[in-house]
Amino acid sequence: QPAGAVGIVETVGSGYSVEEEEMDQRAKIVAFCRTQLGKKYQLGVEVASGHDSETWDCSEMVEAAYREAGLSIPDGACFQFDACQPVLAPQPGDLGFLWSDKRGMIGHVMVATEVGTVVHAVGGRGVVEESWASWELHARWKGWRRHVDLARPIEDRA
């Protein structure tokens, strides 16, 4: 600018949005799980990072889905339960948990979708998508939880 000229400075944002990043992460979690529909269930299966599998157990599929979204979560439904915080109403990518009477601890995990369903790997049925309403009424239901790196608005805290 020439000497004495007055300019207007406009602040340009970085283009980064926490909300958009979270929506993208949630969409990746759900999309990954849906690509696994119809695959077989195998208790305790381990899948190396960056690899696909024809068999899943519930927590291994969750671990892989979160990894796909750039989030780290431990393997094992009970460890995933402990790594997340309770919420009242699930959003896509949030996790629902069941207690295991046989083992005396959390024994199953499922992923909420945007349409009132869950995707999970179930013994004898493989990876399926079904309504979450029946699971919330199940006697072993332990609630919805959210990964600590995803937003948890005050009105949604359990």
Which is nearest to 59 in space by CA: 110, 113, 127? 110
CA angle 25, 58, 96 (to 5 degrees): 65
pLDDT digits (tens, 9 = 90+) for 141-155: 999 999 999 875 655
Give SS3 for 82. helix
Q: Classify residue 141 by its DSSP letter.
A: E
Q: Which residues of 31-62 are buried (b: 16+ CB within 10 A; e: fewer)?
A: ebbeebeebebbeebebeeeeebebbbbbbbb
pLDDT at 24 over 80: yes
Residue 102: band (very low, low, confident or very high) from pLDDT cuts 50, 70, 90: confident
Tens-place pLDDT, residues 46-96:
887 766 789 999 999 999 999 999 999 999 999 999 999 999 889 999 999
The answer to whether the CB of 142 falls within 8 A of the CB of 127 is no
The C-alpha atoms of residue 106 and residue 91 are separated, in whole angstroms, by: 21
